[in-house]
Copies of this chain bind each other. A is one copy, B any other.
Amino acid sequence: MDVLVTGFEPFGNSDRNPSREVARVLDGRTIAGLKVTGRVLPVSMRAIGDALARVFEDPPPRIVVALGLANGESMVRIERYGVNLADFPLADNDGEKVVDRAIVPDGPPSFATTLPNRAIREALLQAGIPARLSNTAGTYLCNASIYLLGDMIRKRALETRFGFLHLPYMPEQVAALLATPHAERQPKQVPSMSLATMLRAVETAVATAAASSI
């Protein structure tokens, strides 16, 4: 396997997840001469470790671009760190709402992602796609996937380079959320990004990572 792209199942108040769509669309594609495998991870504290180990089967990928949804985000957000902390803002898809739990007991406080994050940002801006570097991926499953990837790569002493991109909502998701009758007042600003733009973003990130890892 050359490149692994992971997305997540839908969760919370939406039945769609752009990271799943992108992973599905890119599965089987070739980008910059590299074969891409797309996989979808469960939004589940209990299951995510095994799921990640499974997609890392022999041979392990050279490059991992993990994806997730960041609601409220307006740009492609390039994560630099995953921390050893699960502290959920909302329950996962098993209904579990974890508070202040280490992801890997006695693990280091964090792992840094190893893709060329700044070069990816510059390539995205060059491609007309808003992007920013970020120092926190939160403490939900997205962060857990980063930390577990870092832990797995270190324990297996792999040379795999890995990174994580947080994606905004798709416009259709926001429209569906706004159309739902709520007791409570609606948020004023809910940014989104078209799936087409996000697909181009991930392709650009993979190509940039491929170019730098040769």
| A96 in the interface (beta carbon within 8 A) | no
The proximity string for A residues 96-133 relative to B, scoring 1 for CB distances below 8 Å and 0 otherwise, is 00001000000011111000001000101111111111
Residues from chain B with Cβ under 8 Å of A72 in the complex: 188-189
The proximity string for A residues 183-198 relative to B, scoring 1 for CB distances below 8 Å and 0 otherwise, is 1111011111110110
Q: A81-B109, A109-B81 are in contact. Are A171 and B128 (CB under 8 A)?
A: yes
Consensus secondary structure, chain A interface: loop
| A90 in the interface (beta carbon within 8 A) | yes
| A27 in the interface (beta carbon within 8 A) | no
Across the interface, do B184 and A171 meet the contact criterion of CB distance under 8 Å? no
Across the interface, do A125 and B191 meet the contact criterion of CB distance under 8 Å? no
Q: Which segment, of A31-39, A158-166, A172-180, faces chain B?
A: A172-180
| A136 in the interface (beta carbon within 8 A) | yes
Across the interface, do B125 and A179 meet the contact criterion of CB distance under 8 Å? yes
| A80 in the interface (beta carbon within 8 A) | yes
Across the interface, do B74 and A192 meet the contact criterion of CB distance under 8 Å? yes
What residues of chain A have their CB less than 8 Å away from a CB belonging to chain B?
Answer: 72-75, 80-81, 83-85, 87, 89-90, 100, 108-112, 118, 122, 124-136, 138-139, 171-172, 174-176, 178-179, 183-186, 188-194, 196-197
